[in-house]
Amino acid sequence: MNPNDLINWIAANGKLTFEVLGTLAFAISGLIEAARKRLDIVGMAMVTGFTAFGGGTLRDILLDRRPFFWVQNELWLWVILAICALAMIFLRSRHLEVTERATQWPDALGLGIFASGGTYISLHSGMPPLVAVLMGVITAVFGGVLRDVVVNEIPRAFNDHQPYSVVAFLGGWVVVLLDALNVNDVLAIGAGAVVITGLRICAMTFGWRLPTWKV
Protein backbone atom coordinates (compact mmCIF):
# COMPACT_ATOMS: atom_id res chain seq x y z
CA MET A 1 0.00 0.00 0.00
CA ASN A 2 1.48 3.33 -1.05
CA PRO A 3 1.16 6.47 1.14
CA ASN A 4 -1.70 7.91 -0.92
CA ASP A 5 -3.71 4.70 -0.56
CA LEU A 6 -3.09 4.74 3.20
CA ILE A 7 -4.24 8.37 3.48
CA ASN A 8 -7.38 7.61 1.45
CA TRP A 9 -8.14 4.56 3.61
CA ILE A 10 -7.76 6.57 6.82
CA ALA A 11 -10.00 9.31 5.45
CA ALA A 12 -12.67 6.77 4.51
CA ASN A 13 -12.49 4.62 7.63
CA GLY A 14 -11.03 6.89 10.28
CA LYS A 15 -14.30 7.70 12.06
CA LEU A 16 -15.21 4.02 12.18
CA THR A 17 -11.78 3.26 13.64
CA PHE A 18 -12.28 5.88 16.36
CA GLU A 19 -15.72 4.45 17.16
CA VAL A 20 -14.28 0.95 17.49
CA LEU A 21 -11.37 2.06 19.69
CA GLY A 22 -13.51 4.27 21.91
CA THR A 23 -16.24 1.70 22.42
CA LEU A 24 -13.74 -1.06 23.20
CA ALA A 25 -11.80 1.19 25.58
CA PHE A 26 -14.89 2.07 27.61
CA ALA A 27 -16.11 -1.53 27.45
CA ILE A 28 -12.81 -2.74 28.90
CA SER A 29 -12.93 -0.16 31.69
CA GLY A 30 -16.44 -1.33 32.58
CA LEU A 31 -15.36 -4.94 32.39
CA ILE A 32 -12.42 -4.37 34.73
CA GLU A 33 -14.65 -2.56 37.23
CA ALA A 34 -17.19 -5.40 37.11
CA ALA A 35 -14.38 -7.90 37.66
CA ARG A 36 -13.14 -5.90 40.67
CA LYS A 37 -16.62 -6.17 42.17
CA ARG A 38 -16.70 -9.91 41.40
CA LEU A 39 -19.97 -9.72 39.47
CA ASP A 40 -21.36 -12.71 37.60
CA ILE A 41 -21.56 -12.89 33.80
CA VAL A 42 -24.89 -11.05 33.70
CA GLY A 43 -23.58 -8.25 35.91
CA MET A 44 -20.39 -8.00 33.88
CA ALA A 45 -22.34 -7.73 30.62
CA MET A 46 -24.65 -5.05 32.04
CA VAL A 47 -21.86 -2.91 33.50
CA THR A 48 -19.75 -3.28 30.35
CA GLY A 49 -22.70 -2.33 28.15
CA PHE A 50 -23.68 0.66 30.27
CA THR A 51 -20.11 1.96 30.16
CA ALA A 52 -19.68 1.45 26.42
CA PHE A 53 -23.09 2.68 25.26
CA GLY A 54 -24.45 4.95 28.00
CA GLY A 55 -22.89 8.25 26.96
CA GLY A 56 -23.56 7.84 23.25
CA THR A 57 -27.16 6.80 23.92
CA LEU A 58 -27.85 9.87 26.06
CA ARG A 59 -26.26 12.08 23.39
CA ASP A 60 -28.46 10.54 20.70
CA ILE A 61 -31.56 11.03 22.87
CA LEU A 62 -30.74 14.71 23.39
CA LEU A 63 -29.97 15.21 19.69
CA ASP A 64 -33.02 13.16 18.65
CA ARG A 65 -30.86 10.83 16.54
CA ARG A 66 -32.36 7.45 15.64
CA PRO A 67 -31.62 4.61 15.60
CA PHE A 68 -29.14 4.51 18.46
CA PHE A 69 -25.68 3.53 17.26
CA TRP A 70 -25.71 0.19 19.11
CA VAL A 71 -29.17 -0.62 17.70
CA GLN A 72 -27.99 0.17 14.20
CA ASN A 73 -24.87 -1.97 14.68
CA GLU A 74 -26.00 -5.17 16.39
CA LEU A 75 -22.48 -6.53 16.15
CA TRP A 76 -21.52 -4.38 19.15
CA LEU A 77 -23.89 -6.33 21.37
CA TRP A 78 -22.26 -9.61 20.36
CA VAL A 79 -18.81 -8.10 20.94
CA ILE A 80 -19.76 -7.06 24.47
CA LEU A 81 -21.13 -10.53 25.28
CA ALA A 82 -18.07 -12.22 23.79
CA ILE A 83 -15.46 -10.17 25.65
CA CYS A 84 -17.35 -10.62 28.93
CA ALA A 85 -17.40 -14.39 28.50
CA LEU A 86 -13.75 -14.54 27.46
CA ALA A 87 -12.66 -12.20 30.26
CA MET A 88 -14.45 -14.25 32.90
CA ILE A 89 -12.77 -17.44 31.67
CA PHE A 90 -9.35 -15.77 31.43
CA LEU A 91 -9.49 -14.01 34.79
CA ARG A 92 -10.72 -17.10 36.61
CA SER A 93 -8.11 -19.36 35.04
CA ARG A 94 -5.25 -16.94 35.67
CA HIS A 95 -6.42 -15.80 39.11
CA LEU A 96 -5.50 -12.22 38.24
CA GLU A 97 -6.15 -9.37 40.65
CA VAL A 98 -7.52 -6.30 38.90
CA THR A 99 -6.94 -2.88 40.44
CA GLU A 100 -8.78 0.44 40.32
CA ARG A 101 -5.77 1.91 38.53
CA ALA A 102 -6.22 -0.61 35.71
CA THR A 103 -9.67 0.85 35.01
CA GLN A 104 -8.30 4.34 34.48
CA TRP A 105 -6.04 3.69 31.47
CA PRO A 106 -8.66 2.43 28.98
CA ASP A 107 -11.08 4.95 30.49
CA ALA A 108 -8.67 7.79 29.54
CA LEU A 109 -8.59 6.58 25.93
CA GLY A 110 -12.36 6.23 25.77
CA LEU A 111 -12.76 9.68 27.30
CA GLY A 112 -10.68 11.28 24.57
CA ILE A 113 -12.29 9.51 21.64
CA PHE A 114 -15.90 9.81 22.82
CA ALA A 115 -15.63 13.47 23.87
CA SER A 116 -14.00 14.40 20.58
CA GLY A 117 -16.34 12.33 18.43
CA GLY A 118 -19.42 13.45 20.37
CA THR A 119 -18.47 17.10 19.86
CA TYR A 120 -18.01 16.57 16.12
CA ILE A 121 -21.32 14.71 15.74
CA SER A 122 -23.14 17.45 17.64
CA LEU A 123 -21.57 20.21 15.55
CA HIS A 124 -22.72 18.50 12.37
CA SER A 125 -26.19 18.00 13.82
CA GLY A 126 -26.55 21.77 13.83
CA MET A 127 -25.67 22.48 17.47
CA PRO A 128 -23.86 25.74 18.39
CA PRO A 129 -20.26 25.31 19.58
CA LEU A 130 -20.84 25.44 23.35
CA VAL A 131 -23.74 22.99 23.16
CA ALA A 132 -21.67 20.70 20.92
CA VAL A 133 -18.78 20.69 23.39
CA LEU A 134 -21.12 19.92 26.29
CA MET A 135 -22.67 17.09 24.25
CA GLY A 136 -19.16 15.74 23.77
CA VAL A 137 -18.60 15.85 27.53
CA ILE A 138 -21.90 14.01 28.11
CA THR A 139 -20.96 11.39 25.52
CA ALA A 140 -17.64 10.75 27.25
CA VAL A 141 -18.65 10.99 30.91
CA PHE A 142 -22.13 9.53 31.25
CA GLY A 143 -21.12 5.92 30.55
CA GLY A 144 -18.56 6.01 33.36
CA VAL A 145 -21.11 7.60 35.68
CA LEU A 146 -23.55 4.76 34.97
CA ARG A 147 -20.77 2.23 35.54
CA ASP A 148 -19.92 3.61 38.95
CA VAL A 149 -23.54 4.01 40.05
CA VAL A 150 -24.39 0.42 39.09
CA VAL A 151 -21.45 -0.95 41.10
CA ASN A 152 -22.50 1.21 44.08
CA GLU A 153 -19.70 3.78 43.89
CA ILE A 154 -19.81 7.57 43.90
CA PRO A 155 -18.99 8.38 40.25
CA ARG A 156 -15.24 8.80 39.90
CA ALA A 157 -15.78 11.74 37.57
CA PHE A 158 -17.26 13.67 40.50
CA ASN A 159 -15.19 12.70 43.51
CA ASP A 160 -11.57 11.88 42.62
CA HIS A 161 -10.79 15.61 42.21
CA GLN A 162 -8.66 14.92 39.13
CA PRO A 163 -9.51 16.79 35.90
CA TYR A 164 -11.89 14.54 33.97
CA SER A 165 -14.89 16.38 32.56
CA VAL A 166 -12.68 19.48 32.47
CA VAL A 167 -10.18 17.92 30.05
CA ALA A 168 -13.05 16.65 27.88
CA PHE A 169 -14.45 20.19 27.81
CA LEU A 170 -11.09 21.71 26.85
CA GLY A 171 -10.42 19.12 24.16
CA GLY A 172 -13.86 19.65 22.68
CA TRP A 173 -12.88 23.20 21.80
CA VAL A 174 -9.94 21.83 19.82
CA VAL A 175 -12.46 19.98 17.65
CA VAL A 176 -14.60 23.12 17.30
CA LEU A 177 -11.59 25.19 16.24
CA LEU A 178 -10.31 22.66 13.71
CA ASP A 179 -13.80 22.16 12.29
CA ALA A 180 -14.16 25.95 11.87
CA LEU A 181 -10.86 25.89 9.94
CA ASN A 182 -12.30 23.16 7.67
CA VAL A 183 -9.73 20.61 8.79
CA ASN A 184 -10.47 17.02 7.71
CA ASP A 185 -12.97 15.40 10.08
CA VAL A 186 -10.71 12.47 10.95
CA LEU A 187 -7.83 14.80 11.80
CA ALA A 188 -10.10 17.06 13.86
CA ILE A 189 -11.49 14.14 15.89
CA GLY A 190 -8.05 12.58 16.24
CA ALA A 191 -6.42 15.81 17.42
CA GLY A 192 -9.15 16.37 20.00
CA ALA A 193 -8.85 12.80 21.22
CA VAL A 194 -5.06 13.08 21.58
CA VAL A 195 -5.35 16.33 23.55
CA ILE A 196 -8.01 14.97 25.91
CA THR A 197 -6.37 11.60 26.47
CA GLY A 198 -2.97 13.23 26.94
CA LEU A 199 -4.29 15.69 29.51
CA ARG A 200 -6.08 12.94 31.40
CA ILE A 201 -2.96 10.77 31.51
CA CYS A 202 -0.94 13.77 32.73
CA ALA A 203 -3.52 14.36 35.48
CA MET A 204 -3.24 10.72 36.55
CA THR A 205 0.56 10.67 36.34
CA PHE A 206 1.34 13.97 38.04
CA GLY A 207 -1.55 13.99 40.48
CA TRP A 208 -3.24 17.14 39.23
CA ARG A 209 -6.20 18.12 41.40
CA LEU A 210 -9.16 20.45 41.01
CA PRO A 211 -9.98 22.93 43.79
CA THR A 212 -12.33 21.43 46.39
CA TRP A 213 -15.02 23.02 48.56
CA LYS A 214 -13.65 24.19 51.88
CA VAL A 215 -16.06 23.73 54.77
Residue 213 has pLDDT above 80, yes or no: no
* pLDDT at residue 98, as a whole number: 63
Do residues 116 and 196 make contact, with C-beta atoms less than 8 angstroms apart? yes
Instruction: State mean pLDDT over 83-90.
Output: 79
- For residues 110 and 169, give the distance between their C-alpha atoms in angstroms, rounded to a whole number: 14
Phi, psi of 89 (to 5 degrees): -65, -45
- For residues 14 and 12, give the distance between their C-alpha atoms in angstroms, rounded to a whole number: 6
- For residues 134 and 165, give the distance between their C-alpha atoms in angstroms, rounded to a whole number: 10
Measured over the CA atoms of residue 14, residue 18, residue 19 and residue 21, the dihedral's sign is: positive
Residue 68 has pLDDT above 60, yes or no: yes
Phi, psi of 138 (to 5 degrees): -60, -45
pLDDT digits (tens, 9 = 90+) for 145-165: 998 888 888 887 787 778 888
* pLDDT at residue 8, as a whole number: 53
Instruction: State mean pLDDT over 176-202.
Output: 91
Torsion (CA) 72, 46, 100, 111 in degrees, nearest 10: 20
Residue 198 confidence class, pLDDT cut points 50, 70, 90: very high
Instruction: State mean pLDDT over 64-73.
Output: 81
Q: What is the pTM of this model?
A: 0.84
pLDDT digits (tens, 9 = 90+) for 33-55: 888 888 888 888 889 889 888 88
